[in-house]
A = this chain, B = another copy of it.
Amino acid sequence: MTSFSTPLPISGETRLFAIVGDPIAQARSPSVFNALFAARGANAVLVPMQVPASQLRCAIGGLKCIANLDGIVVTVPHKVSVVELLDEIGPVARRVGAVNCMRRRPDGRWGGEMFDGEGFVAGLQREGMPVAGRHVFQAGCGGAGKAVAHALAAAGVASLHLVDAKPELAQALIASLRQHHPQLAVHTGDAPGAGHDLLVNATPCGMAPGDPMPFDLRDAASGAVVAELIMKPERTRLLDAASARGHRIHLGRHLLESQAALVARYFGLCD
């Protein structure tokens, strides 16, 4: 799936979807979702909506009043704060404490769920790198990190080594993972040790030009995959370094593409 321009006739019968975030100009979801809708022949459109954090309650309240608006993709900074505006949230959202999408249910109530982690895992799978059985090192245990770690655990990784600049975030995520996946080996510590064959950057470190490496690649297994959640820049310093060391790399944009298919299905629009 690419972000090409799609002929998209909008009529009075078009079903409406939105992505809500702030800022929104950088959002790639409109092109990704609209290409997906067009490919499936759905008379639907997803449009960008810039909503400041202070206006979220008012905006979501209004959007719920629009009868042909069936679903909303939720992005930064609203993924956690929108939860209290929903009537119910799904099992992953409950574990992670955040949603990345919401939909109108047939009874008129609004539900939400979190597909960022599942999208990340599906993207790796689609790129020929299934995660089951892998020994994973993950830096970053915030919102995105929680979603990814829970999805990796659900997808059957062999072990998870979690670190965060705030150690209490890593500890909290480990406690949550142990509750839902008691058999899984989960650890924390300062740096990746030897033996990891999937290394994941779930920190924002790498978005800004001068950022340091989010973690060291020195001890990574020779066949290890190095994966980013950062979408912009597409090639981070971490990915360049990993590539130079002969590792297979995985781009952040694959998350969005795989997640969009999951969210579209959640919206009831695609198989």
Chain A interface extent, by class? 35 or more
Cβ proximity bits A250-262 to B, threshold 8 Å, 1 near / 0 not: 0000000000000
Q: Which of B7, B11, B48, B62 contacts A65 (CB 8 A)?
A: B62
**Is A27 an interface residue, CB under 8 A from the partner?**
yes
Q: Which of B5, B25, B68 contacts A13 (CB 8 A)?
A: B25
**Is A129 an interface residue, CB under 8 A from the partner?**
no
Q: What residues of B have a CB within 8 angstroms of the CB of A172 in the complex?
A: none
B24 touches A68 (CB 8 A): yes
**Is A210 an interface residue, CB under 8 A from the partner?**
no
B10 touches A7 (CB 8 A): no
Q: What residues of B have a CB within 8 angstroms of the CB of A9 in the complex?
A: 5-6, 8, 31
User: How far is A62 from B72 in the complex, measured between Cα atoms in Å?
Assistant: 14
**Is A184 an interface residue, CB under 8 A from the partner?**
no
Q: What residues of B have a CB within 8 angstroms of the CB of A29 in the complex?
A: 12
Interface residues of A (CB under 8 A from B): 5-14, 16, 19, 22, 24-31, 34, 45-52, 55, 58-69
